[in-house]
Amino acid sequence: MSKPRPIEYADGSREVRAVYDDIKATRNVPDVNNFWKYLANDPKTLKRTWESIKEVMAPGALDPLTKEMVYLAVSVTNGCGYCTASHGAAATKAGMTPQQFAELMAVVGMANETNRLANGYRVPIDPAFEN
């Protein structure tokens, strides 16, 4: 096995193309992102991941913009460069304004800071939070 390579639509198996088609139709885009082209090296994971994403990111009790911003917050916290770029674009497409992005980053930053202050000071959970 060498470094993973992307699989373009024309080179995909019928199973891969079916997933690509569904992504393109669901998102109304002319082509799928690199993420899917690399996952296509493993058609089962491609299919499972796409179906999970489609279910999880569908509108529900949380709207699509909120979900994309949460996705971005997690990706930034984990330092995933690809995911920060792709979900930054997705959140923008879902309507995130520059001001919303700015506030999102401010919250992500503070959460990462206070998570460590809580760890460092070894703060015990308040009894009220245990109910």
Contact set for a second copy, span 35-94 (CB under 8 A): 35, 38-39, 41-42, 44-45, 48-49, 52-53, 55-57, 60-62, 66-67, 69-89, 92
Q: Which is nearer to a second copy, 18 or 89 (CB)?
A: 89
- The DSSP letter of residue 5 is -
Of 15 and 60, nearer to a second copy (C-beta) is: 60
Among residue numbers 9 through 38, which ones bind a second copy (CB under 8 A)? 33-35, 38
Output the smallest distance, CB 125 to a second copy, in A. 5
Inter-residue long-range contacts of 11-16, CB under 8 Å, 24+ positions, other chains counted? 12/40, 13/43, 15/43, 15/47, 16/40, 16/43, 16/46
Of the ranges 10-18, 20-28, 118-126, which one interacts with a second copy (CB under 8 A)?
118-126
Q: 26 or 97, CB closer to a second copy? A: 97
Distances (CA, A) of 43 to 38, 79, 89: 10, 26, 25
- Of residues 64, 53, 54, 50, the one with CA closest to residue 16: 50
Nearest alpha carbon to residue 38 among 26, 54, 50, 24: 50
**C-beta closer to a second copy: residue 10 or 61:** 61
